[in-house]
Amino acid sequence: MKFLRLPLALAAVMTLLLVGAPASADGTHTSMDFTCADPSPNTTDTPATNSCTFDFNDSGDFGTTDNDKVDYFEIVLPDGAQINEDNDQGGNGSDGVADPADGDDVGYSTVRTELSYNSCDDNNNDGGTYTTEWDNDWDSYTVPNGWTKVAEYNTIFSVLFFFTRHVPSHVLVNDTTGQYKIVTDLPEADGCAGAHTKFNPLVTYAHADNDSNNTWISKTPTTGDCYTVTITATEVGGTTHTDTDVVDVGGQPGC
């Protein structure tokens, strides 16, 4: 099947950044066509829905071997953006915000990717849309030095009723700067050599279950500005690819 939808976890997550009118690019786009929309609502210090689209290995620009498949990707959020931390897990300590319930929706992803189980053919190449949930039962994960894991999202990826994968997105906070990033671990073993994978889009909700009566998931920075969002994709063979986009928070001219 040539393409399939997966999510973030936020990825994160997501991850990260709204379904709506995209922000102006900053001109540093590389092979991933990374584009993020402005948060919605676009006001400071406010729970906001976020959305990004991006494309891994379009036209084989990463390569065409098993080592060129994307193992995981991370999205670094703007300085000052906030993520609801899982108080039950300890992590970074209680943030004073009520947690979503285990299994609450925190976003979704629409994903297209080439899968080896279906001989990498073109069936259903429009992909699928998959829900990302708050997960209290964390997967094993080695946290990089200088970061603390504070939450986990789980995207349930299923195809034709029998192919199911749970895709974890690990929410991390920098121990020094307080900046958040979301690392999503893809099921690369199921992908074709040199698989082309497109997220269009990956969405993180403002509130659990996309309901403003519920606790918030992500919040905009407290200061209005033009903020850079960064994505880094790491191939199975260790090669990395980085791309950026700029989002407007608070209605800033010229972003």
pLDDT of residue 249: 97
Residue 233's pLDDT is 96
Output the pTM of the full model. 0.86
Cα–Cα dist 84/12, whole Å = 12
User: In this predicted structure, what is the pLDDT of residue 212?
Assistant: 96
- Please tell me whether the peptide bond between 253 and the residue prior to it is cis, using omega within 30 degrees of 0: no
Given this model, what pLDDT does residue 25 score?
36
Higher pLDDT, 168 or 87: 168
3-state secondary structure of 33: coil
Closest CA to 89 of 29, 143, 32, 138: 138
Does residue 4 surpass a pLDDT of 80? no
Taking the C-alpha atoms of residue 53 and residue 21, their distance in angstroms, rounded to an integer, is 12
pLDDT value of position 76: 97
CA nearest to 5, candidates 112, 140, 142, 124: 112
The predicted structure's pLDDT at residue 29: 40
Q: Check residue 228 and give its pLDDT.
A: 96
Predicted confidence (pLDDT) at residue 123 exceeds the cutoff of 60: no
Q: Is the pLDDT of residue 18 over 60?
A: no
CA distance 129 to 152: 19
The amino acid at residue 150 is V
Q: Are 20 and 51 in contact (CB under 8 A)?
A: yes
Comparing 86-100, 142-156, 188-202, the range with the smallest average pLDDT is 86-100
- How confident is the model over 86-91, as a mean pLDDT? 76
Distances in Å between the Cα of 42 and the Cα atoms of 36, 105, 114, 204, 254 are: 13, 22, 35, 14, 15
Least confident residue range of 14-23, 95-104, 197-206: 14-23
Average pLDDT over residues 159-176: 86
Task: Give the model's pLDDT for residue 193.
Answer: 87
pLDDT for residue 159 is more than 80? no
68: pLDDT strictly greater than 50: yes
* pLDDT for residue 153 is more than 70: yes
- Give me the percent of the chain exceeding a pLDDT of 90: 62
Can you give the pLDDT at residue 15? 35
Q: Picking from 3-7, 32-36, 195-199, 242-246, which range would have the lowest pLDDT averaged per residue?
A: 3-7
Q: Say which residue, 16 or 44, is predicted with more confidence.
A: 44
Q: Predicted confidence band at 16 (pLDDT cuts at 50, 70, 90)? A: very low
Helix (H, G, I), strand (E, B) or coil at 103: coil
